[in-house]
Structure 1
Amino acid sequence: MTLAGWLCGLLVAFLGLGAPAVAKDQPPIDDTPRLIGLQHPHWFELSLLDLREDLERVREQGKRALAVYVGMDDCPYCEALFEVNFAEPDIVEYTRRHFNVVGLDVLGSREMTTLEGESMTEREFAVGKGLNFTPAFIFYEPDGTPVFRLRGYHSPYRFRAALEYVADGHYENETFREYLARADPPPRFDPDDLNHQDFFAPKPFALDRSRIPADRPLAVFFEQGECHACDILHTEPLGDEQVLELLDLFEVVQLDMWSEETPVRTPDGRSMTARAWAEDLGLFYAPTLIFFDEAGEEIIRIDSVVRLHRLRSVLEYVLTRGYEDYPTYQRWRMEQGG
């Protein structure tokens, strides 16, 4: 079977863009803060942290791209990447065949040199790239052009899809959202197929904050029917009493990210459907949670697997306006003691 056929089979079976949900969609992750002390896999590049030299090796070896991994110690989601995704031999083989991977610490103090020749610390690099969540990957073509970014943890089948999206150059013709949807076009769902909560505001979705600021931040839940990850969000993190208390301080709306019948007035005052807004935002993962301030500016988004501690922490970050004092969520979180 070809790689493309193998991937298509996985997507059809597991993708969650309308396919029946299965347990493999969401491997168990306990994101309670704890000592983990992760080490990079032995096959990561032994880099001197000069990305120009790392990219030169990519060209010499005929690889498709340089993959810059950004993680951190004591990160349960990084642990899942190493112990679940990289425990699958085909993923490791495919990654090593097409990419050279260089590992960085999102809070690291080591000096590095960027592709532009600038000297800075790993921490400064992560801040400059706006990396709020680990693990994260940034893929660079052999000429140094950044072509794709994957934020947060994604289960093996979606991670494998991201690798093939870059390795086969699909980014040249379509977004990752389009690539996934093409493999398994999402069917139409009745709105009742979504998980409803009492705190979700009813229609109409008049979210415009561009003219008159609101009195509270906004949280938009982009979801879809037949979504195992959405089910877990609603039964686990959204079943926590403290999370519910924090959400009471937000305006909260739920949208079907594929709906062409749901009109929305966006926080910046545009009129479009829920699907068109999701496309405009580049969303490919359900559920995606996007948080906006009182004036309609996006603060942060969670577009990857999320469990209780991360969600609760992000809610606190937004409500305490931590984004005004810290350049990224990660920096704020470390100042709060993890």
Structure 2
Amino acid sequence: MTIRYLPALLGLLAAFSLHAAEPPAARMGTYYGAKTTEYPAWFKNSFLHLKEDIDEARANGKRVILMFTQDGCPYCSALVERNLSQREIESTMKEKFDVIAVNMWGDREVVGLDGKRYTEKTYSAAQKIQFTPSLLFFDEAGKTLLRLNGYVPPARLQAALDWVGGRHENKVAFRDFVAAREVPKQASGEMIQQDFFLKNATDLRRRGKSARPLAVFFEQKDCPDCEVLHRRVLADPETRAVIAKFDNVQLDMWSRESIVTPQGKRMAVRDWVRQLGVNYAPGIVLFDSAGQEVIRWESSFR
């Protein structure tokens, strides 16, 4: 099955307007190439009382993953067919985790870690789930250790499983863990420029009523996935027409150069990346005209 990278980005940009206009519980997405997904039989058949799930996992030396899905989601199918079908990923998940599927538009009752009762739909909204699949990884106390928004390639999912399953959260940051183990693919040694990127943009604050929304492209050198984004996706006229509605800024996610964030804080780019929790390049984070994050994408564009 082929995942279409162009609809992924167009959907992200279109979702910006959707999120600004409607409450989360009222929205339901549509898909290019919708496909029915059959989830593995070894997923936990949970009553969705999350504290009990975490307590049970802890007693068995495991941790909990909530996998947010929805019907007809091609990226969910890709996660199952490309990732969960790999022996090492399946083995790690079965050994170290209880995996629980949550339908972001479902009506089953969920008892959250706060003791409140939700439906799957309202719980997903409370967790600010914007894409499917999204994975939340919890520790034994119910703290969210890691969040993967959208489809990620097998190697990156395995890295997440090893980081959380190996209890590395107090030893090394996740993005440093990933950077240390991933072998760079062949790519150019410089970041690719676009004519719609603002030049020398170091102050990202939004000013005045006429301020435009902001799209920040977090990239890095020697990044094959960044090349896919630029040469296949950002070259598309329809995509460029949508992007033209934003102020667009490209940042090297490892840079020590100082910027002023949309919230008015001065810090090094790499420190802002760590604060935002952007783990992969390319990552795109959209901010509204008031400088508040609305939606992000840091998945595979292949």
Counterpart of 1:304 in structure 2 is 299
Q: Offset of 1:297 from its aligned partner?
A: 1.4
Counterpart of 2:36 in structure 1 is 37
* Structure 1 position 50 matched with structure 2 position 49: yes
Counterpart of 2:225 in structure 1 is 229
Aligned partner of 1:180: which letter? V
Q: Offset of 1:296 from its aligned partner?
A: 1.4
> Would you identify which runs of 4 or more consecutive aligned residues in structure 1 move more than 6 Å?
none
Q: Secondary structure at the match of 1:177?
A: helix
Distance in 2 (CA, whole Å) between partners of 1:272 and 1:55 is 37
Distance in 2 (CA, whole Å) between partners of 1:92 and 1:240 is 37
Counterpart of 1:279 in structure 2 is 274
1:145-184 residue pairs with structure 2 within 5 A? 145-183=143-181
Distance in 2 (CA, whole Å) between partners of 1:185 and 1:91 is 18
Give the TM-score normalised by structure 1.
0.75
* Structure 1 position 247 matched with structure 2 position 243: yes
Show structure 1 runs of 5+ residues with no match: 1-26, 308-338
Q: Secondary structure at the match of 1:38?
A: coil
Distance in 2 (CA, whole Å) between partners of 1:59 and 1:258 is 36
Aligned partner of 1:54: which letter? D
Contact 1:224–1:286 at 8 Å: present in 2 too?
Answer: yes
Distance in 2 (CA, whole Å) between partners of 1:54 and 1:302 is 29
1:95-110 residue pairs with structure 2 within 5 A? 95-110=93-108
1:1-338 residue pairs with structure 2 within 5 A? 28-30=2-4, 33-63=32-62, 65-183=63-181, 193-209=190-206, 212=208, 214-260=210-256, 262-306=257-301
> Alpha carbons of 1:196 and 1:298: their partners in 2 closer, same or farther (altered >3 Å)?
same
> Alpha carbons of 1:271 and 1:84: their partners in 2 closer, same or farther (altered >3 Å)?
same
Distance in 1 (CA, whole Å) between partners of 2:279 and 2:212 is 27
Contact 2:36–2:77 at 8 Å: present in 1 too?
Answer: no
Q: Offset of 1:166 from its aligned partner?
A: 0.5
Give me the CA root mean square deviation.
Answer: 2.4
Q: Offset of 1:185 from its aligned partner?
A: 10
Contact 1:33–1:74 at 8 Å: present in 2 too?
Answer: no
Aligned partner of 1:108: which letter? G
Contact 1:214–1:295 at 8 Å: present in 2 too?
Answer: no
Distance in 2 (CA, whole Å) between partners of 1:207 and 1:145 is 31
Show structure 2 runs of 5+ residues with no match: 8-30
Q: Secondary structure at the match of 2:3?
A: coil
Contact 1:66–1:140 at 8 Å: present in 2 too?
Answer: yes
> Alpha carbons of 1:93 and 1:271: their partners in 2 closer, same or farther (altered >3 Å)?
same
- Percent of residue pairs bearing the same amino acid type: 37
Q: Secondary structure at the match of 1:130?
A: coil
Contact 1:263–1:274 at 8 Å: present in 2 too?
Answer: yes
> Alpha carbons of 1:214 and 1:207: their partners in 2 closer, same or farther (altered >3 Å)?
farther
